[in-house]
Amino acid sequence: MRPSTLLLAAALLTSGLGYVMPASVALADGYQVNVDAQGLAIHGYDPVAYFTDGKAVAGEAALTAAHDGATYRFASAAHRDAFIADPGRYLPQYGGYCAYGTSISKKFDGDPNAWKVVDGKLYLNFNPDVQRKWLEDVPGFIAKADTAWPGIREVSPETLNAQ
C-alpha cells in the first residue's frame, strides 16, 4: 500500500466516525455521482452558497433541483435558480467525492464542511484531517486527481475502494 493510501486509511480509522462507503448513482454514460441512499448530493448542503456566502450552508428540503441523477438542496430560491441556470459552475469536482481520495484513485465521501474553492471550482475532502493533507499541495493533488478521474469516474466506489 502506498504511503498516501496509508495516510488516508489512518485518517479514516482515527476520525472517530469510522468510514462509511459513499453511495453513488451511475448515469447513463456510467459517470458516478456521490449521493446518499436517498439520492441527495453534498449531504444536503447548498452548492451555490460556497461561492456566494463563502461557507457551507445546509439547504432546505423544500428547495431542490435535480441534476445528473442527484438531488441538490438550496438555502434560497435565488441559489436554486442560479444552479439551474448553470449547474456546472457550482457542482463539486469529481462527482462530489473527496478530492484527495481521487488523487490516489479512490472514491471517498466528501464532507460538506471540509471544502475549498480553487480557481472557481468546488473541492470536497473526506474530513478536516484529510483536508489538511490536501492543503499541503493543492495544485499537485488537483493535477493528480484530474489525471486519475477519467479512469475512475465510471467505477463504483465499492469496486474501486476494494482494490
Q: How many whole angstroms separate alpha carbon 19 and alpha carbon 78?
A: 35
In a domain, 16, yes or no: yes
Domain assignment of residue 163, yes or no: no
| Interval 109-130 mean pLDDT | 97
Amino acid letter, 69: G
Q: What is the pLDDT of residues 46-96, one digit of tens each?
A: 999 999 999 999 999 999 999 988 999 999 999 999 999 999 999 999 999
Report how many domains make up the chain: 1
- 41 falls within a domain: yes
Residue 72 pairs in a beta bridge with 65
Query: What whole-number distance in Å separates Cα of residue 2 and Cα of residue 76?
Result: 43
DSSP state of 127: S
Measuring CA to CA, how many Å separate 36 from each of 90, 132, 155? Answer: 19, 25, 17
pTM above 0.75, yes or no: yes
Asked, for residue 9, whether it belongs to a domain, the answer is yes
- Print the domain residue range for 42: 3-157
